[in-house]
């Protein structure tokens, strides 16, 4: 569908307006008058004024200052935040052995065989030094245990 308005062949497009011609009809005065020949010399006068006034070149310095302010603010923020964060990480106390042992017994669902598989030679030698067991204690434990055949067969 075309949006162009086409005049009807038998009359004007806008019947409520009276016809007029710009060249022949006197126009209404709008209140603004330009002296005769004003636009003929306008460009010369404008260029004369431009050449007469010196042009000062100003450098914008606020952009650099803003970068410096942002850098100083970032350093100040880091100087304030890092000590608190460092203190939080350093303040966490190491877990004592009793707490760790209770967790492994209650929550981890590990049996003694699985714990033994996780130990290396250094850990075993450390445990042997802490828990001295003589041969007599081992013989007594084996003698009192009714399932000796399970240990010997494995």
Q: Render 107-145 in DSSP notation, one character per residue.
A: TS---HHHHHHH--HHHHHHHHHHS---HHHHHHHHHH-
Q: Residue 96, Cα to own-chain centre: how many angstroms?
A: 38
Q: Which residue has the higher pLDDT, 56 or 151?
A: 56
Per-residue pLDDT of 62-76, as tens digits, reads 666 778 888 999 999
Q: 83, 80, 84, 82: which is closest to 72 by C-alpha?
A: 80
Among 1-5, 32-36, 119-123, the minimum mean pLDDT is found in: 1-5
Among 1-5, 26-30, 110-114, the minimum mean pLDDT is found in: 1-5
Rg (C-alpha) for the chain, rounded Å, is 50
Alpha carbon dihedral 89, 91, 97, 102, in 10-degree steps, equals: -80
Q: Can you give the pTM of this predicted structure?
A: 0.26
pLDDT at position 126 over 60: yes
Per-residue pLDDT of 6-36, as tens digits, reads 555 555 566 677 766 666 656 666 677 888 8
3-state secondary structure of 100: helix
């Amino acid at each position: 569908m075309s949006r162009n308005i086409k005049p009807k062949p038998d009359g004007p497009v806008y019947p409520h307006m009276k016809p007029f011609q710009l060249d022949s009809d006197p126009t209404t005065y709008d209140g603004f008058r330009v002296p005769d020949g004003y636009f003929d010399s306008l460009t010369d006068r404008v260029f004369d004024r431009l050449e007469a006034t010196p042009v000062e070149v100003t450098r914008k310095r606020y952009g650099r200052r803003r970068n410096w302010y942002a850098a100083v603010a970032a350093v100040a923020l880091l100087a304030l935040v890092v000590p608190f964060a460092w203190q939080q990480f350093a303040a966490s106390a190491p877990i004592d052995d009793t707490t760790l042992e209770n967790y492994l017994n209650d929550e981890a669902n590990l049996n003694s065989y699985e714990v033994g598989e996780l130990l290396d030679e250094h850990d075993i030698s450390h445990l042997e030094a802490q828990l001295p067991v003589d041969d007599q204690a081992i013989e007594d434990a084996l003698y009192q245990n009714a399932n000796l055949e399970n240990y010997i067969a494995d």
